Structure 1
């Protein structure tokens, strides 16, 4: 919530009072928050909620932990992204040579449990806050349940075998939980989201944009059903989302340049503001990470060759490459151009080709704003185009292929691509999996790898991740083993919690 000015607190964020005492007097330390002194005002409740949202940017709130640890962990293993092997960030993950000590998965784990711990405190404390109205209590509790479900979604898809913690405790005996079954975690996610639906509003006042809404809960719940191949439930939930007033932005690029954030296509985003006041650092750095060295960027990662080849087949009705392709990647094409941070102007690929270090780059998030610094553009987590494509997938698996094609064509039309014609169920499934989703959603946070994951783990037209990576010429695909389907349980956690068991193969 980018307009919040509250303190972002750490994982526990409620200090335990160590009072000063001797034989004569006990004096309360007014500068230390305790469970008795906190949870007294509406501001306290909002500070707690802000802290629960803040974990999406990492446990510490560091932009570096998010972009160079969490983002790379969720993106680098997929077939749409190639990492710059000259850079160390996520390099072993990308080459499937990581160990249990890799810092990226640990940051995913740490951020998720930080968010869960903060959400659990809200769920325990807010019901007892007499200063809050009943309506406000319901909303805060619903948001906390949504957030807990969101964090557990990353844990169960990323690690599968994780502790299921639904209460906050300072008792040392409760700090070393065992792992739950994945099915138990999925069931808790469904419960949290179903209960959140009942009390989340369809929108928030403008000063609170970015907070979870009814549409966010329904969309995430539909995604949860999709991951479990509950096709009927997924179809129903996504259909409900289509009735809530969302619409695709007319300009595809506005999803990534700051002009469309929290707008008609936005369902849920990680909020950034570029605010640096009072010790804050609410900036994001993707504009540097995707830009070429020659443009003043860091080129941390690139579109894969397979992705570029797919994008070149995304054509208009008259046979030209679609607009969504030109707004997604910078590649060897006379109509391809990208903003150069160095010269502060758009540059054509053909003009600068000789100065480039790599044949292709992502253009998403590389735009001409905040010219000399990082920026405050939000990172979409779920946008309406994603929902329409998931809806199409559910419809197709429910043997409603014609209706599914209609949903895909809505997305294609906005991006300038020609409509799909008649297709079989199997043809459309392949089209959605290996063209529509990667072309529309390339490099977007936490999407492609977990699509590959669910198609491997599912029983419907199961696809081997290794085979897909090999077919799409992913570098180091030969190193992939079944153990790489999930992250290892972080060694740091196993070392302090003897109740944790390593994931198979790790």
Structure 2
């Protein structure tokens, strides 16, 4: 998939396939794409699918919109991250002072509906392309349904009350849809994923590695069940994924340094190539965002004090801090070290403590195998460790606590932490929620915030987000109100579409 030029395809395929005319030009422009000239070949089908994947980078493909708007908006509200208040990115969102005009939620909305619009075009048009074999059509449409489901998952968990659009329509009268009930959105997500998993491939050739697979669809469907507290369905679907050809990487850090992209632990990743040829800019910038100023980084955000304190309790059989902690954060500890871009060396914390602007940093993505200024390391959305922990959560809620502990211990063992012993169901639930998931998955693309969201919205051992944030010392937690459980519907959208209603409290 990295061999395809995202930005070129965005303009080619997603100019809504409109054409222009000029009364003074009698010879048609054969490079001008339109409804009549596109959707003819297998290449067109793959271009359109690639453009649908590209929306995960943002509506425009901008790495800045993705990392500084979308990622920060999804991440900064949680208790595992503390933002650098000297930087403006999602600062208001992090302090729960955001308004309906905040750019982060708008970029999420825009990117998701861009992806949905492109997926709808693929789903409608590809089955009609005679030049594409039936088998290939089925796979391409299935992947488009997976991507549509993923975008709706992000929308319904972030905004809850959103329009449900499953067809591509250029009729102006149909371009202003009203919001659907959240239950309708969840039902459509389930339908798309159930239909997708039966036609997706278990793996792709090296040319197309990174495209979603059967395992991607099954894992996302399991997560969708988990968010709705459909514990039996979640357990069964995650069991299917566990029975597939996934495994934990021997070294925890290899999930984040580019050495094992699309490897055995990867269930689905956002692809970055680092390509800058032509008008492309397929780079990612996490290595700068997490690194200290002293190491040539930008330090946009840090691990929270609660997270660091919790990580210090993640120990091996000898009482020593686990390897996964040392590969997740850089902190005041004799064994903590981090890669410095300034001198391209690994620096012990004790050696550089006096140079640091802040006492603790994230280490994930700080070092990359790709040594370019901005690199092409992928961003993992779902990895097998997350699947095992979600599987364990479903097992525990189904009364299978001992079986759940077995799955958790697989993750702990790989990370160098001592195995858990016998625990009661309630105790294990707390262990999963406030140790295993944040320690293993800290700062990984909004996972922590949306965990907090589902535990408040659910009926199983419901937990107040505000109480959790306050108990964990989240800055500005006192500003949190119930309205902050959801993002507001972006004002830009309300101004355009009079059929939309604002979320409660906004």
1:174 CA displacement = 1.1
Indicate the residue corresponding to 1:20 in structure 2.
Answer: 22
1:18 CA displacement = 3.2
Q: How far, CA to CA, are the matches of 2:236 and 2:368 in structure 1?
A: 40
1:198 CA displacement = 0.9
Query: Residue 358 of structure 1 aligns to a residue in which SS?
Result: coil
Indicate the residue corresponding to 1:342 in structure 2.
Answer: 342
Query: Residue 45 of structure 1 aligns to a residue in which SS?
Result: helix
Could you report, residue by residue, the CA deviation over 1:174-214 in whole angstroms, capped at 9, with x for unpaired residues?
11000000000000000000000110111011111110100
Query: Residue 279 of structure 1 aligns to a residue in which SS?
Result: coil
- Is 1:501 paired with 2:505? no
Q: How far, CA to CA, are the matches of 1:120 and 1:101 in structure 2?
A: 28
Query: Residue 339 of structure 1 aligns to a residue in which SS?
Result: strand
Indicate the residue corresponding to 1:452 in structure 2.
Answer: 452
- Is 1:8 paired with 2:9? yes
Computed over aligned residues only, the root mean square deviation of the Cα atoms, in angstroms, reads 1.2
1:355 CA displacement = 0.8
Query: Residue 381 of structure 1 aligns to a residue in which SS?
Result: strand
Indicate the residue corresponding to 1:181 in structure 2.
Answer: 181
Q: How far, CA to CA, are the matches of 1:8 and 1:314 in structure 2?
A: 46
1:9 CA displacement = 1.0
Indicate the residue corresponding to 1:148 in structure 2.
Answer: 148
Q: How far, CA to CA, are the matches of 1:263 and 1:31 in structure 2?
A: 38
Query: Residue 210 of structure 2 aligns to a residue in which SS?
Result: coil
Q: How far, CA to CA, are the matches of 2:23 and 2:3 in structure 1?
A: 41
Moved more, 168-177 or 13-22: 13-22
Query: Residue 463 of structure 1 aligns to a residue in which SS?
Result: coil
Aligned 8 A contact 2:259 2:369 in 1 = no
Indicate the residue corresponding to 2:120 in structure 1.
Answer: 120
TM-score (normalizing by structure 2): 0.98
Q: How far, CA to CA, are the matches of 2:321 and 2:177 in structure 1?
A: 53
Indicate the residue corresponding to 1:469 in structure 2.
Answer: 469
Aligned 8 A contact 2:9 2:50 in 1 = yes
Could you report, residue by residue, the CA deviation over 1:152-185 in whole angstroms, capped at 9, with x for unpaired residues?
0000000000000000011111110000000000
Q: How far, CA to CA, are the matches of 1:52 and 1:27 in structure 2?
A: 32
The 5-angstrom pairing of residues 38-117 of structure 1 reads 38-117=38-117
1:29 CA displacement = 3.4
Aligned 8 A contact 1:17 1:29 in 2 = no
Aligned 8 A contact 1:251 1:414 in 2 = yes
Query: Residue 374 of structure 1 aligns to a residue in which SS?
Result: coil
The 5-angstrom pairing of residues 156-167 of structure 1 reads 156-167=156-167
Aligned 8 A contact 1:20 1:27 in 2 = no
Could you report, residue by residue, the CA deviation over 1:293-330 in whole angstroms, capped at 9, with x for unpaired residues?
00010000000000000000000011100000000000
The 5-angstrom pairing of residues 211-230 of structure 1 reads 211-230=211-230
Aligned 8 A contact 1:20 1:28 in 2 = no
Indicate the residue corresponding to 1:34 in structure 2.
Answer: 34
1:336 CA displacement = 0.1
Query: Residue 459 of structure 1 aligns to a residue in which SS?
Result: coil
Aligned 8 A contact 1:488 1:503 in 2 = yes
Q: How far, CA to CA, are the matches of 2:9 and 2:79 in structure 1?
A: 35
TM-score (normalizing by structure 1): 0.98
Moved more, 338-347 or 410-419: 338-347
Unaligned runs of 5+ in 2: none
Aligned 8 A contact 2:270 2:379 in 1 = yes
Could you report, residue by residue, the CA deviation over 1:32-61 in whole angstroms, capped at 9, with x for unpaired residues?
210000011111111100100000000000
Query: Residue 386 of structure 1 aligns to a residue in which SS?
Result: helix
Q: How far, CA to CA, are the matches of 2:496 and 2:173 in structure 1?
A: 13
Q: How far, CA to CA, are the matches of 1:380 and 1:127 in structure 2?
A: 30
Q: How far, CA to CA, are the matches of 1:316 and 1:367 in structure 2?
A: 25
Q: How far, CA to CA, are the matches of 1:387 and 1:372 in structure 2?
A: 32
Aligned residue pairs total 504
Could you report, residue by residue, the CA deviation over 1:452-487 in whole angstroms, capped at 9, with x for unpaired residues?
000000000000000000000000000000000000
Q: How far, CA to CA, are the matches of 2:345 and 2:133 in structure 1?
A: 52
Indicate the residue corresponding to 2:435 in structure 1.
Answer: 435
Q: How far, CA to CA, are the matches of 1:266 and 1:445 in structure 2?
A: 14
Q: How far, CA to CA, are the matches of 2:70 and 2:325 in structure 1?
A: 26
1:21 CA displacement = 4.2
Q: How far, CA to CA, are the matches of 2:403 and 2:261 in structure 1?
A: 29
Aligned 8 A contact 2:203 2:213 in 1 = yes
Aligned 8 A contact 1:149 1:193 in 2 = yes
1:260 CA displacement = 1.1
Unaligned runs of 5+ in 1: none
